[in-house]
C-alpha cells in the first residue's frame, strides 16, 4: 500500500505528554542559543492536550514540588516555568499565599496545556502511530517512515531522521479481571472521570468495588464516597494495610537527575535491588495526608454506625464474571483461606500501568535493535548501518531508575536527548541528497 510522503523532519516525537513537551522546550532553547535547530514534529493520539484527564479529581494535589516542572531545574529563567505560568495567569501572588509547593493536579494540567499551546504548530493531534519502517539507501538504514492513522481511518506517512518515543503507560488489568475487562461497568482509573458510570449510579444504593492499594485507589475511594453518598464501597487490596509513601528528603534524592548516572552505572542485579529497596516511594503506597482522610472517614462511620465504606485487606480476586444484574467477584481472604462471592454494580480498577520497553509499532525495525537496552542518553542500541537515533522516554525504569516514569528528571532528560540529536544534526546531512534514499522515500 502506498502512502503520501510529507516533507521529512529531523526528529518526530511519538506522544505529546510531559516528556516530549519538555523535549520541545529543550529543542527550542537549543535553536535559540546555538542557532542549530532540529526540524521537529510531535504526533499525539489524543484530540487535544490533556495529562491524566481521567484522574483530575477535585482536591487532588501534586506529589512533587512545582519546581520540578518542565524546565526549572535546567533553566529557572525560562519562559516555560510554572512560576511564569502563574505570572502570566495573574495568580503568582495568590499562589504564594497558599504557602505550598504542591499545586492541585488540575492547575498543573492547566500549566502543561499552557505550554503545549505554545507549540501547537509542531503537533498533530488525533493521530496514532501504527508503524515505523526503515528507509534504506544502499546497505544502510538512513531514515524512518512513520505511519499514522486518524480516528476517521485516514493514513499518513512522514519521513524522520530520528525518533523520540514517549507514549506513556498502558492501563494494567490483572489477569483475573480479563473476563470482564470489556464490560462498561468496569472502569480503569485512567478513564475514571471520562466514564459516565458514576453519573448513572448517582442517587441509588449501589455497590462499588475499588481494586488496588495505591494512591489512585485511595483517591477514587474517597471521591466515590463524596459523589455517591448512598453507595456501599469496598476497597479490595492484597496488602496487610494501606502503606504511606516515603517522601522524606534523603530518600527523595533518588529522584535527582544525578542519581540516574549512579543507577545506570550499576550492574543489572544491583539496579533491581535498588528498585526493590525504594518501591515504597512510588508503588502500592498512598500519600500520608490522604491516608489520614481515609481513616477519619472510616472512623466517623463507626461513630455513626453507617458503614458504607469498607476496607478489605489481604484479599485477592480469584475470578470475575459479568451478568445482567451486575459484576460478581470471587474473593479470597488470604488470612483464613476463605472464599466468598460478592456482586457489584461497578468495579473500578486501580492497578496501575504497564510500560513496554519497545512499543509494538517498532516491530518493523526490531531486527535492527540490539538486545543491550538503552544507552545513558536513552538511546536504543542498534546494529551497525542503522543511522537513525531512537530515544525512549518513560519506559526504562530498569536501566535508569525509579524517576524514569515520573516528572522529576524531565528537564535534564530532555536536554540529554537534545544534545544527542543536535550532535548528529551537526554532522553530514547527506540522506536527502542521496538518489537511492530519494527513491526509497517515495516508493
Instruction: Report angle CA 423, 425, 427 to the nearest 5 degrees.
Output: 80
Evaluate whether 9-169+355-441 and 172-245+282-353 have a shared fold: yes
Q: Under a CB-based contact definition with an 8 Å cutoff, are residues 169 and 359 in contact?
A: no
Q: What homologous superfamily does CATH list for 9-169+355-441?
A: FAD/NAD(P)-binding domain (3.50.50.60)
CA gyration radius for the chain?
A: 24
| Grid coordinates given for 230 | 448512598
Interval 38-82: pLDDT, tens: 899 999 999 999 999 999 999 899 999 999 999 999 999 999 999
For residue range 361-386, list pLDDT tens digits in order. 999 999 999 987 799 999 999 999 99
- Mean pLDDT, residues 394-410 taken together: 93
Mean pLDDT of 288-316: 95
Q: Tens digit of pLDDT for each residue in 95-128?
A: 999 999 999 999 999 999 999 999 999 999 999 9
Fold of the domain spanning 172-245+282-353: FAD/NAD(P)-binding domain (3.50.50)
Domain boundaries, the chain: 9-169+355-441, 172-245+282-353
**pLDDT higher than threshold 60 for residue 438:** no
Strand, helix or coil for residue 354: strand
C-alpha distances out from residue 283 to 17, 157, 208, Å: 21, 39, 23
Amino acid at each position: 500500500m502506498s502512502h503520501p510522503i510529507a516533507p521529512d523532519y529531523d526528529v518526530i516525537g511519538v506522544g505529546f505528554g510531559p516528556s516530549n513537551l519538555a523535549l520541545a522546550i529543550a529543542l527550542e532553547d537549543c535553536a535559540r542559543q546555538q542557532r542549530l535547530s532540529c526540524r521537529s514534529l510531535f504526533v499525539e493520539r489524543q484530540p487535544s492536550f490533556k495529562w491524566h484527564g481521567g484522574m483530575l479529581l477535585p482536591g487532588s494535589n501534586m506529589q512533587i514540588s512545582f519546581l520540578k516542572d518542565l524546565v526549572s531545574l535546567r533553566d529557572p529563567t525560562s519562559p516555560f516555568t510554572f512560576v511564569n505560568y502563574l505570572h502570566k495567569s495573574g495568580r503568582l501572588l495568590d499562589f504564594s499565599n497558599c504557602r505550598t509547593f504542591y499545586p492541585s493536579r488540575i492547575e498543573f494540567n492547566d500549566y502543561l496545556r499552557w505550554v503545549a499551546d505554545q507549540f501547537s504548530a509542531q503537533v498533530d493531534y488525533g493521530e496514532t502511530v501504527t508503524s515505523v519502517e526503515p528507509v534504506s539507501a544502499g546497505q544502510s538504514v538512513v531514515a524512518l517512515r512513520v505511519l499514522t492513522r486518524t480516528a476517521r481511518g485516514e493514513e499518513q506517512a512522514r519521513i524522520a531522521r530520528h525518533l523520540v518515543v514517549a507514549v506513556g503507560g498502558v492501563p494494567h488489568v490483572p489477569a483475573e479481571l480479563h473476563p470482564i475487562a470489556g464490560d462498561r461497568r468496569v472502569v480503569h482509573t485512567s478513564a475514571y472521570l471520562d466514564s459516565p458510570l458514576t453519573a448513572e449510579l448517582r442517587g441509588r444504593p449501589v455497590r462499588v468495588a475499588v481494586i488496588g492499594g495505591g494512591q489512585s485507589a485511595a483517591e477514587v475511594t474517597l471521591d466515590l464516597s463524596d459523589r455517591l453518598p448512598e453507595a456501599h464501597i469496598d476497597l479490595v487490596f492484597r496488602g496487610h494495610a494501606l502503606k504511606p509513601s516515603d517522601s522524606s528528603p534523603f530518600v527523595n534524592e533518588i529522584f535527582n537527575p544525578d542519581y540516574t548516572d549512579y543507577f545506570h552505572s550499576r550492574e543489572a542485579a544491583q539496579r533491581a535491588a535498588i528498585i526493590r529497596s525504594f518501591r515504597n516511594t512510588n508503588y502500592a503506597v498512598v500519600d500520608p495526608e490522604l491516608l489520614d482522610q481515609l481513616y477519619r472517614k472510616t472512623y466517623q462511620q463507626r461513630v455513626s454506625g453507617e458503614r458504607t465504606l469498607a476496607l478489605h485487606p489481604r484479599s485477592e480476586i480469584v475470578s470475575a464474571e459479568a451478568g445482567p444484574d451486575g459484576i460478581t467477584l470471587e474473593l479470597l481472604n488470604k488470612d483464613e483461606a476463605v472464599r466468598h462471592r460478592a456482586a457489584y454494580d461497578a468495579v473500578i480498577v486501580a492497578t496501575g500501568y504497564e510500560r513496554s520497553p519497545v512499543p509494538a509499532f517498532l516491530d518493523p525495525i526490531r531486527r535492527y535493535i540490539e538486545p543491550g537496552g538503552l544507552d545513558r542518553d536513552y538511546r536504543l542500541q542498534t546494529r551497525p548501518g542503522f543511522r537513525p537515533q531512537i530515544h525512549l522516554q518513560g519506559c526504562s525504569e530498569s536501566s535508569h531508575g525509579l524517576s524514569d516514569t515520573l516528572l522529576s528528571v524531565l528537564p535534564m532528560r530532555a536536554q540529554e536527548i537534545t544534545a544527542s540529536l543536535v550532535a548528529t544534526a551537526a554532522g553530514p546531512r547527506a540522506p536527502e541528497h542521496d538518489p537511492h534514499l530519494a527513491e526509497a522515500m517515495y516508493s
